[in-house]
Structure 1
Amino acid sequence: MILSCAAVLFDVDGTLVDSTPLVERAGREWAAEYGIDPDVFMSGAHGRRTSDRVAEFLPAERVREATARLDALEAVSTDGIIALPGALDLLADMSGLPHAFVTSMDRAQFKARSEAAGIPSPPILVTAEDVADGKPDPSGYLQAAGRLGVDPSACVVVEDAPAGIAAGRAAGATVLALVTSHPEESLAEAHHVVQDLSRVRSTPAGLHLTIA
């Protein structure tokens, strides 16, 4: 299957990079410190900006301090962070297809995790600091498309989480979901689903998908 597009907008954590052990450890430690059920906190944390998730559990006046604490816990180590299957090969040969990264991480987190995984710096990067509202709001994807000079409806968004899928659809893009962090049944709002990026290669006109 060919997904024709003028540009590709990649999510990062869970799509290109696997930092699940780090995020789980830090999130659970943080939740326990703040008297929050770790299972409840982690159940909807993936794919969201840290500050947005924290704000769902704490009063507004505590969000900044609590977010900084969770960021500090996540910054302790990059052990176990790896590139997800197919990510490095695809990014090494994008066939001239314009692309950008849109992440819920801040710039420091992105730098640490992408370097640990060997992910090359993208032509365009939109991080948590660049938008007023995080995913599922479409602002990040709309900004990335604008900076590439491409209509969002001509883009393919590559995501792994329901919040990111919702953001891509709200931006008007075609959404390709990967089964790398969530069960396939939770990705039903995506237009297309593949196992991971080893099933994807680029062409000058778009993405070629191998559907199992």
Structure 2
Amino acid sequence: MNAWSTFAKDYGFDAEFVAHSSHGRRLYDTLKEYCKIEDEEKLLSEIERFEEEVLKGGPVALPGAIDLIKQIQSGDPSDETRKYSWVIATSGTMIYAPRALAICGIIVPSPAQLVTSEDVERGKPHPDPYLKAAERCGVSPENCLVVEDAPSGLNSGRSAGCKTLAVCTSHSKQSILAKATPDYIVKDLAKVSFKWINDKLEFTVDDSEQ
């Protein structure tokens, strides 16, 4: 939130409103809209400044995220099916995303498993990020599960033809359902588990608390 507060002072907008309403979108789109930056060089410079502010704040992994990745990667580490069965589709840049993930303790085995803002023509809520992610996994979008904590990301996944799982860690259940129609919804990722059955990944959702 510190980054939004800094930019709100510089550009004169409501930090809380913009931070909440733009969650999940690319900074390229958000800063262009709310900061009214038309010059491309200036826009890219401000994106870099914003992301540096976020990194200073120390991003953290959402509850259960690291355990889920470990479950997906369990088994023979040489098994290509397991290794490339997941992709992170982020609205962050290719410079910011690896650094933020490393701070969170999340290691991405391959650059191909990271879709960033530069990899797509249109960011979330458009389907492009998750269409690209499905392509990287080598499967059809309808065989993918998108896990998201932002309505824009859920709408992106749904538009791409994927099943969507909403996580209520950044938005309330009510605010998510007001803007998106996820297939599943949970309190946090600790309520989700994965296990391999032959070459298929099965997930279980505990929706007893939301």
Same fold (TM over 0.5): yes
Paired residues for 1:58-97 under 5 Å: 58-59=35-36, 61-62=38-39, 64-76=41-53, 77-94=55-72, 95=74, 96=82
Structure-2 residue corresponding to 1:25: 2
Structure-1 residue corresponding to 2:119: 130
Structure with more of its chain in strand, by fraction: 1
Structure-1 residue corresponding to 2:189: 197
Which TM-score applies when normalising by structure 1?
A: 0.82
Identical aligned residues as a percent: 35
Q: Does 1:185 align with 2:185?
A: no
Residues 192 and 122 of structure 1, relative CA distance in 2, 3 Å threshold: farther
Residues 170 and 122 of structure 1, relative CA distance in 2, 3 Å threshold: farther
SS state at 1:93 partner = helix
Which TM-score applies when normalising by structure 2?
A: 0.82
Structure-2 residue corresponding to 1:56: 33
Q: Distance in 2 between matches of 1:111 and 1:168?
A: 22
Residues 63 and 55 of structure 1, relative CA distance in 2, 3 Å threshold: farther
Q: Please, which of 19, 40, 44 is the counterpart of residue 17 of structure 2?
A: 40
Structure-1 residue corresponding to 2:96: 109
Structure-2 residue corresponding to 1:119: 106
Structure-2 residue corresponding to 1:20: none
Q: Deviations over 1:87-120 (max 9, x none)?
A: 1111112153811110000111111211111012
Residues 64 and 165 of structure 1, relative CA distance in 2, 3 Å threshold: farther
SS state at 1:132 partner = coil
Residues 28 and 79 of structure 1, relative CA distance in 2, 3 Å threshold: closer
Q: CA RMSD in A?
A: 1.9
Structure with more of its chain in helix, by fraction: 2
Q: Which structure is larger by alpha-carbon Rg, 1 or 2?
A: 2
Amino acid at match of 1:169: R
Residues 60 and 80 of structure 1, relative CA distance in 2, 3 Å threshold: closer
- Structure 2, unaligned runs of 5 or more: 75-81
Q: State how many pairs are aligned.
A: 189
Q: Cα offset for 1:163?
A: 0.3
Q: Cα offset for 1:195?
A: 1.1
